[in-house]
């Protein structure tokens, strides 16, 4: 008993000391957390925000985190781009599509889309001409675009002076019944452009003009009418020529009537006597009937030619060559004295009878003043054609003897 009691007292004392030490030492809280499911504690949990806090952009429709454009088949997108390209009013309409996203950029360069581009979609500005513009037009040509073939052909033939390649591109479009290309080739044949005086082929020019007139080209109708009236490259038939001239005027009037009520009220006026035109206020091609219609819209290829030579020396393309005096043409001479000159004033010159007729009724009728004598520059009137003016503005172009 005496032995057990001291042991018990000692054990009790040791136990009390251990409890005091445990109370004095701070206890560290455990960082271990209990998670349910498959969520791993090492991954930071994302905070999910409601849709009302960060809405998706209006231009992108998101369903399940995916863009709906990705779900549209390529064939349908190409079909939409073809419609957009064929109705574009300026190059920016097509360029904006290329800059939208990588997928639209790739699909917009599809050959089917490039072949359907409108003339205004590929209307390159002369001051913006570059190697990239050249490559783009060439790519459109390879895709089968007739407008690109004609536009690039005109640029190469007249601006870059690559006569053979430019003529072949225009011929490529003409084979597929492109009316402006047919008419441009007719002008080249009438003038012997790119060659000498002996390279003129009046019969070929009349044939090409007749084909373009059949397709409804107004300038070709007017050119063919003057050829028939004058017997230029075709047997003379005054009544048939007059019929073609009236048909050309009627087509221009129909274009105005189909352009909308605003254009009709602005441009088409009926009055007695016929209105006198002023600069930039319309072209009275139906002045015999008291109508005033606007001048026809210039093709982008002709605009490019006019801008090209305006930037590079104004009205003189160099080496004594002259530009066609009709502002909407832009064609330059390819040799001296290639174009026909007005026999009354000797100041203006034209690449075709159609340009002469338009410019006469638009502005030259008011500016033309007869002179007693004027002398041709260089060789004596090589290739020139006399312009015999009359009171009503219907000028006949007669070959010089």
Cβ 324 vs Cβ 330: under 8 Å: yes
Distance separating alpha carbons of residues 370 and 284, to the nearest angstrom = 23
Per residue in 342-397, pLDDT (tens digit) is 888 888 899 998 888 888 877 888 888 776 554 444 444 443 444 443 333 333 34
Tokens standing for 132?
Answer: 């990239």
Distance separating alpha carbons of residues 240 and 228, to the nearest angstrom = 7
Residue spans of the domains in the chain: they are 71-262, 300-366
Find, among 139, 166, 134, the residue nearest to 150 by Cα: 166
CA-based R_g, the chain, Å? 39
Q: How far are the Cα atoms of 97, 156, 323, 348, 350 from residue 318, in angstroms, in the given order?
A: 40, 17, 10, 17, 17
Per residue in 263-284, pLDDT (tens digit) is 555 554 544 444 444 444 445 4
Peptide bond just before 382 cis, omega within 30 deg: no
pLDDT at 284: 46
Please give the angle made by the CA atoms of 385, 386 and 387, to the nearest 5 degrees.
Answer: 120
Distance separating alpha carbons of residues 386 and 346, to the nearest angstrom = 10
Instruction: Check whether 78 has a pLDDT greater than 50.
Output: yes
Phi-psi group of 192: left, alpha or beta (phi > 0 → left; psi -120 to 50 → alpha; rest → beta): left
CA dihedral 223→214→267→292, nearest 10 degrees, is: 40
Distance separating alpha carbons of residues 341 and 351, to the nearest angstrom = 9
Mean pLDDT value across residues 287-296: 56
Range 228-234 contact pairs with CB under 8 angstroms and sequence separation of 24 or more? 229/396, 230/396, 230/397, 230/398, 230/399, 232/202, 232/206, 232/397, 232/399, 233/190, 233/202, 233/203, 233/205, 233/206, 234/202, 234/203, 234/206
Distance separating alpha carbons of residues 170 and 60, to the nearest angstrom = 44
Residues 6+ apart with CB under 8 A from 236: 228, 229, 230
Mean pLDDT value across residues 48-60: 47
Per residue in 138-187, pLDDT (tens digit) is 999 999 999 999 999 999 999 998 999 999 999 999 999 999 999 999 99
Tokens standing for 1?
Answer: 């008993």
Of 54-58, 120-124, 133-137, the range with the lowest mean pLDDT is 54-58
Per residue in 298-312, pLDDT (tens digit) is 899 999 999 998 887
φ/ψ (deg, to 5) at 313:
125, 15
Quickly count: other Cβ atoms within 10 Å of residue 288's Cβ.
13
Mean pLDDT value across residues 50-70: 53
CATH code of the domain occupying 71-262: 1.25.40.10
pLDDT at 184: 96
pLDDT at 122: 92
């Amino acid at each position: 008993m005496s032995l057990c009691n001291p042991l018990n007292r000692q054990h009790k004392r040791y136990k009390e000391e251990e409890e005091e030490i445990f109370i004095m030492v701070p206890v560290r809280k455990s960082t271990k957390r209990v998670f349910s499911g498959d969520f791993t504690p090492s991954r930071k949990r994302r905070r999910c925000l409601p849709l009302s806090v960060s809405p998706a952009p209006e231009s992108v429709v998101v369903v399940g985190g995916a863009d709906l454009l990705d779900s549209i088949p390529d064939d349908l997108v190409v079909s939409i781009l073809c419609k957009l390209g064929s109705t574009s009013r300026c190059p920016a309409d097509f360029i904006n599509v290329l800059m939208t996203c990588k997928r639209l950029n790739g699909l917009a360069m599809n050959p089917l889309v490039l072949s359907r581009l409108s003339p205004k979609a590929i209307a390159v500005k002369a001051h913006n001409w570059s190697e990239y513009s050249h490559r783009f037009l060439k790519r459109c040509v390879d895709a089968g675009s007739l407008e690109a073939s004609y536009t690039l052909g005109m640029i190469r033939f007249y601006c870059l002076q690559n006569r053979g390649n430019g003529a072949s591109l225009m011929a490529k479009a003409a084979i597929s019944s492109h009316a402006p290309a047919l008419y441009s080739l007719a002008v080249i044949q009438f003038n012997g452009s790119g060659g000498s005086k002996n390279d003129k082929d009046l019969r070929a020019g009349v044939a090409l003009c007749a084909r373009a007139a059949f397709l409804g080209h107004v300038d070709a109708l007017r050119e063919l009418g003057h050829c028939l009236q004058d017997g230029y490259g075709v047997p003379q038939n005054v009544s048939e020529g007059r019929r073609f001239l009236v048909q050309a005027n009627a087509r221009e009037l129909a274009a105005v009537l189909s352009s909308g009520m605003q254009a009709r009220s602005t441009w088409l006026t009926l009055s007695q006597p016929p209105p006198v035109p002023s600069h930039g206020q319309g072209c009275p091609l139906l002045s015999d009937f008291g109508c005033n219609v606007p001048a026809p819209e210039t093709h982008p290829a002709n605009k490019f030619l006019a801008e090209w030579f305006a930037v590079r020396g104004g009205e003189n393309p160099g080496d004594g060559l002259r530009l066609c005096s009709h502002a909407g043409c832009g064609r330059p001479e390819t040799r001296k004295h290639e174009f026909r000159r007005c026999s009354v004033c000797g100041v203006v010159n034209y690449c075709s009878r159609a340009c002469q007729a338009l410019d006469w009724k638009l502005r030259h009728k008011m500016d033309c003043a007869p002179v007693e004598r004027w002398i041709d520059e260089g060789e004596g009137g090589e290739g020139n054609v006399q312009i015999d003016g009359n009171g009503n503005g219907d000028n006949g172009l007669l070959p010089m003897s």
